[in-house]
Amino acid sequence: MRIDVSGDRLVAHPVSVSEPVEADGELYYQQFVPPVLRATRFFTWMTIVMIAAAIILIGYERHSAYLVAPALVLVAVVAATGLTLRFIVPWNKQMESGIKDNSELQHVLGRWMFLNRIRVSLWTIEWLAITSWFALHLR
């Protein structure tokens, strides 16, 4: 079974935790841990850029109603980052440490997917807010 950890596929084609995912031999490990580690490195820098850009746009729009969009982006980025650091990273570390028991793996994957659906919702808010900002400036 292939475990897809990208946010868009997580929502569109979620992994069913009722399907067998074998912990024995750490079948899940190569499909889960390396992509998550790469994504973490990328999104660490991307988050810094997004926060900086939102702050710059807030300063730029400080005297207009357009301020709402970058402020919403900033709030959603900070919320997604807080969710990730406080709740998702511990599950990532548990998977990284190696899970040998199938029922434990099913539990961890279930919690991880639930939290990631919330995070994808926050990413969607970010996207809609910044897209709205651009659309309003183009009219």
Report pLDDT digits (tens) over 36-50: 999 999 999 999 999
CA distance 119 to 12: 14
Q: What would the mean pLDDT of 71-90 be, rounded to a whole number? A: 98
Q: What would the mean pLDDT of 70-75 be, rounded to a whole number? A: 98
DSSP letter at 81 equals H
Amino acid code (one letter) for 7: G
pTM for the whole structure: 0.82
Encode 63-101: b = buried (16+ Cβ within 10 Å), e = exposed.
eeebbebbbbbbebbebbbebbeebbeebbebbeeebee
CA distance 71 to 6: 26
Q: What would the mean pLDDT of 74-79 be, rounded to a whole number? A: 98
The band of 17, judged by pLDDT with boundaries at 50, 70 and 90, is: very low
Tell me the domain boundaries of the chain: 38-138
| Greatest alpha-carbon span in the chain | 59
